[in-house]
Chains A and B, each alone.
Chain A
Amino acid sequence: GAVVSQHPSWVICKSGTSVKIECRSLDFQATTMFWYRQFPKQSLMLMATSNEGSKATYEQGVEKDKFLINHASLTLSTLTVTSAHPEDSSFYICSARYGFGPGPQETQYFGPGTRLLVL
């Protein structure tokens, strides 16, 4: 149980184009989904937190107009990198949890990640 998928796993695009990444919880309903970015040999960096049906909460320094997040249902969240530039090349990982409050329901389950290369 608690499987999260991401699509695509790899994407190469030209500078200036937009890229959409999908994150799905396959066997549970995710009250909250998270988007992370990880550069090579660096720590996970939380970009934003999204709850179904409401606007995402972005971490300081993350441009909400550049990284558009839509959490339209309890099983799907999308991240769109708009007008991508080479410096946006990174490993983007989503995670999802099915509950809130102290307990195992707080566990974040991660998707396999999406590697973005902007040329």
Chain B
Amino acid sequence: GQNIDQPTEMTATEGAIVQINCTYQTSGFNGLFWYQQHAGEAPTFLSYNVLDGLEEKGRFSSFLSRSKGYSYLLLKELQMKDSASYLCAVTDSNYQLIWGAGTKLIIKP
């Protein structure tokens, strides 16, 4: 079956750095997405990786290793507004998007 694993919940301190991991087992691979979803709101697109390596976008970076079926989202200089759920999603060989259950990130002052 197709599976995406990410931690259910993480806690970090304001100003610090946090890394949210995502491992996947899918039928083929055509890209990996990270979305942010604040409570009660719809997801917003953060990043897209299709090749191995690190993509940096401001305070957020996303890394992909296709051989390991692994990605992480790195958040630097954490702010209280970064408290949200972070969803990892993978496009399989049929271009179907497989969603992870999300990681709830709690930022403490």
Taking CB atoms, residues of chain B closer than 8 Å to A46 are 97, 99
**Bound complex: CA of A108 vs CA of B43, how far in Å?**
10
Q: How many interface contacts (CB-CB < 8 Å) are there between A and B?
A: 44
Q: How large, as a class, is the contact surface on chain B?
A: 10 to 19
* A112 CB, min distance to chain B CBs, angstroms: 5
CB of B99 within 8 A of CB of A110, answer no
Taking CB atoms, residues of chain B closer than 8 Å to A102 are 30-31, 50, 91
How many A residues face the partner with a CB closer than 8 A? 19
Asked whether A61 is an interface residue with its Cβ less than 8 Å from the other chain, the reply is no
The one of A2, A93, A101, A106 in contact with B42, judged by C-beta atoms closer than 8 angstroms, is A93
- List CB contacts (< 8 Å) of B69-109 with chain A: 87, 91, 95, 97, 99, 101-102
- List CB contacts (< 8 Å) of A63-82 with chain B: none
